[in-house]
Chain A
Amino acid sequence: MSSLDIFFQQLANGLILGSFYALVALGYTMVYGIIKLLNFAHGDLYMCGAFVGFLFLSLVSGLLGESWTGILCSMVLSMLTIGLLGVLIQRVAYRPMLSAPRLSILITALAVSMVLSNGVMALTDGDYEAFNTDLGFEGLEMGNVFITYTQIVLVVSAALLMLTLFFFINRTMYGKAMRAIAIDQDACRLMGINVNRVIALTFFIGSALAGAAGVMAGVYYGSIHFFMGFVIGLKAFTAAVIGGIGSIRGAMLGGLALGLLEAFGTQIPFVGSEWKDVFSFGILILLLVFKPTGLLGKTEIERM
Chain B
Amino acid sequence: MSETILEIQDVETYYGKIHALRGISFSVQAGEIVTLLGANGAGKSTTLRTISGLNRAARGSITFMGQDITRMPPHDIVAMGLIHVPEGRRVFKGMTIKENLELGSFTLNDDTERRRRMDHVFEMFPVLYERRQRDAALLSGGEQQMLAMGRALMADTKVLLLDEPSMGLAPTMVQSIMKIIKRLNAEGVTILLVEQNAKAALKFANYGYVLETGSIVVKGEAEQLRKDESIVKAYLGE
Identify the closest chain A residue to B53 (Cβ): A189
Complexed CA–CA distance, A195 and B155 (Å) = 17
Asked whether, in the complex, the Cβ of B74 is within 8 Å of the Cβ of A190, the reply is yes
In the complex, A302 has a CB within 8 A of chain B: yes
Complexed CA–CA distance, A183 and B103 (Å) = 13
In the complex, A235 has a CB within 8 A of chain B: no
A residues in contact with B54, CB < 8 Å: 186, 189-190
Asked whether, in the complex, the Cβ of A176 is within 8 Å of the Cβ of B103, the reply is yes
Within 8 A of A (CB), among B91-123: 91-95, 99, 102-104, 106-107
CB<8 Å pairs between A and B, sample of 6: A180-B95, A183-B93, A187-B86, A190-B54, A190-B85, A191-B104
Bitwise, A240-273 to B at CB < 8 A (1) or not (0) is 0000000000000000000000000000000000
A residues in contact with B155, CB < 8 Å: 191-192
Q: Do A192 and B79 contact each other (CB < 8 Å), given the known contacts A173-B102, A177-B103, A179-B95?
A: yes
Complexed CA–CA distance, A190 and B91 (Å) = 11
Give the A interface residue count (CB, 8 A).
20
In the complex, B158 has a CB within 8 A of chain A: no
4 more CB-based (< 8 A) A-B contacts, given A173-B103, A183-B94: A191-B106, A192-B74, A192-B78, A194-B73
Q: Do A190 and B95 contact each other (CB < 8 Å), given the known contacts A177-B103, A177-B106, A180-B103?
A: no
Asked whether, in the complex, the Cβ of A193 is within 8 Å of the Cβ of B106, the reply is yes
In the complex, A138 has a CB within 8 A of chain B: no
In the complex, A184 has a CB within 8 A of chain B: yes
Asked whether, in the complex, the Cβ of A193 is within 8 Å of the Cβ of B103, the reply is yes
Q: Which among B75, B88, B93, B137 is the interface contact of A192 at CB below 8 angstroms?
A: B75
Bitwise, A176-210 to B at CB < 8 A (1) or not (0) is 11011001101111111111000000000000000
